[in-house]
Amino acid sequence: MGENITLSLTILLTGFAVVFAVLLVLIGIIKAYGTAVYKVQNRRQLKKITRNADLPKAEREPEGEAYAADEVDEVDNDELIAVISAAVYSMYDSPKNIRIKGIRKAPSRSNAWRNAGISDNVRPF
Amino acid sequence: MQIFQGFLDALKGLWESSGFMQLTWQNYVMIVIACVLLYLAIKKQYEPLLLLPIAFGMLLVNLYPDIMGAPHINLVEIASIDDPAAKGHVIREIGGKIFYEDPTYGGLLYYLYQGVKLGIYPPLIFLGIGCMTDFGPLIANPKSFILGAAAQIGIFITFIGAIFLGFTPAQSGAIGIIGGADGPTAIYVTSKLAPELLGPIAVAAYSYMALVPIIQPPIMKLLTTKKERAVVMDQLRPVSKLEKIIFPIIVVIICAIVLPSAAPLIGMLMLGNLFKESGVVERISKTAQNELMNIITIFLGVTVGATATGTVFLTPKTLGIIALGLLAFCMGTACGLLFGKLMYKFTGGKVNPLIGSAGVSAVPMAARVANKVGQQENPGNFLLMHAMGPNVAGVIGSAVAAGVLLSVL
């Protein structure tokens, strides 16, 4: 009986202390790096805004763009632009002077891409 | 006549090997229990992703126990080494007699079960969970960790209850972990500390997780006032991508250094989360949270269910485990709520104590329940994101508690 009480209290105390200690350490670290990251990013943001304000009006980035750039998944967009550019380049028989000004989603009239996707997925091994 | 005799012998052999002759009454009771669990999984949709395979594994093993049979070697005595029956077999000489080894292979589920026995499946499930978990609310409000830790006290209180009910310390640790409300953690700890209790503990853990919307609200209403439940919390700050990337790395470093035995669970959870947050391994992340996790869920569920044979499950111990599991769950919820109340007091009423109940893992069910109970007092109160903080902290907390139990016991 006495042995059971000793073991139970040992486990209760150890478990309580260790779980709280580990999680409290994590709270401290997360708070610290959260503050650091927030400060660094804020400073960067501020620099961007200041630089933008120094430029002549015509060359300024539209408002909110600096913030939006952080939010957008750049990798995906870059890859998409690269793929579309390569497709256009090959479609027009590799012209020397080609400049893509913008990419807009065209209203879907044909389901050619869907069919290509389906055939790719159901192709036998 | 000879043909007819052969036909009768064949029928007799079939009858003797059939379930009618092989199964015991315990197997039949377990078949009924498995069917009830299948009903709950399909009709009531109680944690169907795991309850359905668990129940089916239970059904299979009680219909055909050899499906979990371990491989073994029969020794067949022969007159001499030259006996044609011994050709291709290992010959042994024991006490002057000659035997050849006739190996029997294990059942299908025996081999799949090795992933549970060796502690492989639960960390892999955690990998998938990590890919699906957003730790943003926890990073935005790190104090949520306190609530995630508080809800783990139920584990250790239940440990005491189990010890006094006559369970061994290792079995008590495995029973207590039900209070963590985290299936993979419960299975991982039980497979290491008390594999003989795996069936009842897994069934109890997943059943209570499915019953969170029924178990928690009465405790929440009992321990909080109307005013506390109506507290509207401030909106969480946005969390940057960089913070989310650093989080899993820091957590795994701290936890694995302090508690190496928790490293397989927390390591896989954080690896999965890093896959998700880094954004550079999208394909791996998708595989881990879909195909890999689904495959492991099938293997884990069916084999854990297959440990629930009649002779193991139908004992007074199982009733004790089910009662203690409920106690663990209730104590975890209550401790989370009480710490939530403390935070309410210390912050001058800025924290809604209901989010403390989400400190038991059961992601995201417990957070949804906190949100729902909060909305009963104030329909415009959205506590979901606030409750997700303690909820995901509970996952880390229960893995840390598991590490403590594995280290100490």
A117 assigned to some structural domain: no
CA angle B222, B224, B227 (to 5 degrees): 135
pLDDT at residue B36 in the model: 93
pLDDT at residue A60 in the model: 62
Task: Mark whether A55 and A78 lie in a shared domain.
Answer: no
Tell me which chain B residues have a C-beta less than 8 angstroms from the C-beta of A25: 254, 258
B309 or A100, greater pLDDT: B309
Beta bridge partners of A110: none
For residue range B327-381, list pLDDT tens digits in order: 888 999 999 999 999 999 999 888 999 999 998 878 788 888 998 899 888 887 8
Give residues with Cβ within 8 angstroms of B134, minimum separation 6. Answer: B388, B392
Best probe of the A interface among B146, B157, B165, B240, by most A CBs < 10 A, is B240
A115 assigned to some structural domain: no
pLDDT at residue A110 in the model: 58
pLDDT range class, residue B217, cuts 50, 70, 90: very high
A41 assigned to some structural domain: yes
Task: Mark whether A52 and A90 lie in a shared domain.
Answer: no
**B115: exposed, middle or buried (C-beta count within 10 Å: 0-12, 13-18, 19+)?**
middle
Cβ atoms B321, B201 nearer than 8 A: yes
A122 assigned to some structural domain: no
Tell me which chain B residues have a C-beta less than 8 angstroms from the C-beta of A24: 145-146, 149
Task: Mark whether A16 and A52 lie in a shared domain.
Answer: yes
In chain B, which residues touch A (CB < 8 A)?
138-139, 142-143, 145-146, 148-149, 152-153, 155-157, 159-160, 163-164, 169, 173, 239-243, 246-247, 250-251, 254-255, 258-259, 279-280, 393, 396-397, 400-401, 404-405, 408-409
Q: How many domains does chain A have?
A: 2
pLDDT at residue A108 in the model: 58
pLDDT range class, residue A73, cuts 50, 70, 90: very low
Would the CB atoms of B397 and A41 count as touching at under 8 Å?
no
Task: Mark whether A44 and A89 lie in a shared domain.
Answer: no
A107 assigned to some structural domain: no
Task: Mark whether A52 and A76 lie in a shared domain.
Answer: no
Task: Mark whether A52 and A10 lie in a shared domain.
Answer: yes
Task: Mark whether A80 and A39 lie in a shared domain.
Answer: no
Sheet holding B97-104, edge to edge: B72-78, B97-104, B91-94
Give the minimum alpha-carbon distance from B393 to chain A in angstroms, rounded to a whole number. Answer: 9
Beta bridge partners of B98: B78, B93
ipTM value: 0.75
Cβ atoms B26, B58 nearer than 8 A: no
> Which run of H or of E encompasses B223?
helix B212-223
A109 assigned to some structural domain: no
Would the CB atoms of A33 and B246 count as touching at under 8 Å?
yes
pLDDT at residue A58 in the model: 64
> Which run of H or of E encompasses B76?
strand B72-78
B376 vs B370: CA distance, rounded Å: 10
Residue of A nearest to B168 (CA): A4
pLDDT at residue B294 in the model: 92
Task: Mark whether A44 and A83 lie in a shared domain.
Answer: no
Sign of CA dihedral B177, B182, B185, B186: positive
Burial B51-88 (b: 16+ CB within 10 A, else e): bbbbbbbbbbbbbbbebbbeeeeeeeebeeeeeeebee
Task: Mark whether A53 and A76 lie in a shared domain.
Answer: no
Count of CB atoms within 10 A of residue A91's CB? 9
Task: Mark whether A28 and A76 lie in a shared domain.
Answer: no
Tell me which chain A residues have a C-beta less than 8 angstroms from the C-beta of B182: none
State yes or no: pLDDT of A27 exceeds 50: yes
Least confident of A90-94, B92-96, B173-177: A90-94
Task: Mark whether A11 and A45 lie in a shared domain.
Answer: yes
Residue A18: domain span: 2-59
Least confident of A1-5, A57-61, A95-99, B154-158: A57-61
* N- to C-terminal Cα separation, chain B: 67
* N- to C-terminal Cα separation, chain A: 66
Would the CB atoms of B255 and A22 count as touching at under 8 Å?
yes
Count of CB atoms within 10 A of residue B109's CB? 21
Task: Mark whether A54 and A78 lie in a shared domain.
Answer: no
